Amino acid sequence: MAKTSLLFGIHMHQPVDNFRWVIDHAVEVCYKPFFEVASQYPQFRFSLHCSGWLMEQIAQFHPEVYALIKTLVEGGSIELFGAGYYEPILSTIPSRDRIAQIERLNKSIRSGFSQTPKGVWLTERVWESSLIRDLYRCGIEYTVMDDYHFQCAGFDEAVLDGYYMSEEGGEKLGLFPISKKLRYALPFLNVNKAIEAITSYCRENDSAAIIFDDAEKFGMWPGTYEWVYEKGWLVRFIEAVLADPSIEPMHYGEYFRTRRPRGIAYLPNTSYYEMGEWSLRADDALKLEEFKQEMGHQRYEEEGVKFLKGGIWKNFFVKYPESNRLHKRMLELSAQRETVGEGEFDINLYKLQTNDPLWHGVFGGLYLPNLRDNAYRYLIRCEDIRYRGKQVVVSDQNELDGYDKVKIVVPKVIFRFDAAYGGQMVEFDSRQECFNWQNTLTRRKEAYHRQILEGGKTQEARAVEDGIDTIHNMAVEIDDSIRETVIYDWYLKNSFIDHISDGSFDLQRFKRCDFREYGDFANQPFEAGYTQEKVTFSRDGGLYFPEKAFARLEKHYIPSVEGIGFEITFSTDDERVLNYVLEHNFHFADYKALRINGADAEEEGMSVQTDRLEIIDGYLNKRLLLRFSQPCDIYYFSLKTLSQSEKGFDLSTQGISFAAVFAFSKTISIRGELEVFDV
């Protein structure tokens, strides 16, 4: 009887330094019950990848689960896969860091489990052929990716039942295509249908049914704990696999050693299909969905998937400037490794390279403030090591847009300003607390907002007979309260943003971002210049009524012991009475622990004719003081984004937006300080 080799693998990962309760919950409802069931069937062979940081947490805080894994490895049930230790997207980090992270995890696996990985997990299945050389240097012989990767290169689904070989400069790597059919079947279909999906790959000798997917689908995704464990899906599935004479559970390594490849394959830069959709800008993602519907589901699955593609993973750096900023700062720091030295700097750099805060799809990712806070914590630790004992002003063009980014480093704070975005402040780092008060996120259009704005449900729920639906197809009820939170900003939510408006500017227009804007300074580039004593940004622009009136804006930032001083001068030929609005957006770890100008922070508020904005950050025990040379009205509101998550939608507070409003005619000059003090 011809047999199908079942190559079954699971991938375990949690964001680095994620909340302890999240890790404990994952262990309780997913990892622990999975390995407890697997330990009852030692003849069920499968593969496992677990990110290095998560395995540390399991070993330290859940030793019984670690012991279960170790027993299964030693008994021959588990083949361990390598990867980057802190789960980076390998193609987005420098080669030297890529090799170091893979070797760090390999060393940990050898030490803890006496295995040397020959297979590697590609984080989010992001593939670029340039990886082959570094994987080869790390002793890696094969990897896994979606069948979609192969279909993008012209392969038919029917031939994707084994591995293919590829090369880069003559260095080789085996490529296993993960079956989309199996990804959507396990564990969501009933056991009989899941077995049918596996045996459908029994098409010739040496055929393989290939599945390597998130372990979190087996207990953490909505509805899966009850289905997989309480209703016994996993037990019945494993028993059905072992009882079926046409299925042989096998490790990837054994299959690779004992079976010939199906052929050769050269694959384009890509990830799984859904990631390609998510990496597109909202309007393009909606157009892609329209094209799919026009083609029809069956025709798309059979033919269109080869030609109708989304974007590549690195598009997230284009789609989200906040993501690009983190990534390019990481590259800047990586280039300093040789001058700074190894040790503490390296560990923080590698943690900074974790993928989770850099993108957004069905999970929160970039939209989760705590993940970005973690990334900035590692970044600031690296910077503090780099600038230990120094006070400097430095410039770079690491974000590839041709405009200077100027950094002011003083004893307590690191400030960073961007000439491409109005000479605005894009980092406001506490060196002591390793916290970035400028870690805000702009409210922007996402493709899934269309269903929210149109009302009803996000999609029609699918009827699933004797099974459960996947997270990608779950319907979510939408009500008016959610719809009202969908607001878009037309400029990035940095600080020291310059608006020119009129007397109609008020709190509600500021909150809705629909106030009148006459100037071209809030989202346009400035010219930059700097010395060790002063940083200067300037722009010759205009006011538009709609006829253009010449206008010039110049601002200076001056380093001081406690922070920075600033001088802003605006002048125009137009003689109307207007409002100059200086906007700041500050991010905090705990918004309930804030006091603003002497009162507890509310969802929105204002201070009339004041010359200061004083914020007490009770969480970090710091006082942020923004002083002005003349009185102004200050409006503020909680900056919130509505994002998709595995549970439906999350309304997250990304910061507080402040607007200091000054009336003027023809010219205005404002001086002040932004300083940080201990409470």
What residues act catalytically?
Answer: 124, 214
End-to-end Cα distance, the chain:
76
Structure tokens given for 254: 């054994």
The structure tokens 């690491």 sit at 398
In the three-class reduction of DSSP (H, G, I as helix; E, B as strand; rest coil), residue 617 is classed as strand
Alpha-helical runs (H) found in 387-526: 449-454, 480-483, 507-512
- Report the distance separating Cα 99 and Cα 635, nearest Å: 50
Query: Which residues are CB-neighbours of 156 under 8 A, at least 6 positions away?
Result: none
- Report the distance separating Cα 583 and Cα 548, nearest Å: 23
- Report the distance separating Cα 133 and Cα 99, nearest Å: 10
CA-based torsion, 514, 520, 522, 525: positive or negative: positive
Question: By the 8 A CB rule, do 498 and 579 touch?
Answer: no
Question: By the 8 A CB rule, do 418 and 494 touch?
Answer: yes
The DSSP line for 217-264 is: GTTTSTTHHIIIIIS-HHHHHHHHHHH-TTEEE--HHHHHHHS--S-B
- Report the distance separating Cα 33 and Cα 109, nearest Å: 22
- Identify the bridge partners of residue 212 per DSSP, sorted by sequence position: 9
Structure tokens given for 661: 């409003």
The structure tokens 């989770």 sit at 356
Structure tokens given for 409: 């480093």
The structure tokens 């030297």 sit at 96
Instruction: With both helix axes pointing from N to C terminus, report the angle between 321-334 and 344-352 in degrees, rounded to the nearest 10.
Output: 150
Give the count of beta carbons closer than 10 Å to the beta carbon of residue 238. 20
Structure tokens given for 70: 């170790």
* SS (HEC) of 624-645: EEEEEEEEEEEEEEEEEEEEEE
Of 192, 215, 179, 222, residue with least CA distance to 37: 215
Query: Which residues are CB-neighbours of 151 under 8 A, at least 6 positions away?
Result: 157, 305, 306
Listed in order, strand segments (DSSP E) in 431-511 are 435-436, 497-501
- Residue 556 per-residue DSSP state: E
534 CA to centre of own chain: 35
- Report the distance separating Cα 126 and Cα 236, nearest Å: 33
Structure tokens given for 200: 């459908």
The DSSP line for 333-375 is: HHTTHHHH-SSHHHHHHHHHTBSGGG--SSS-GGG-HHHHHHH
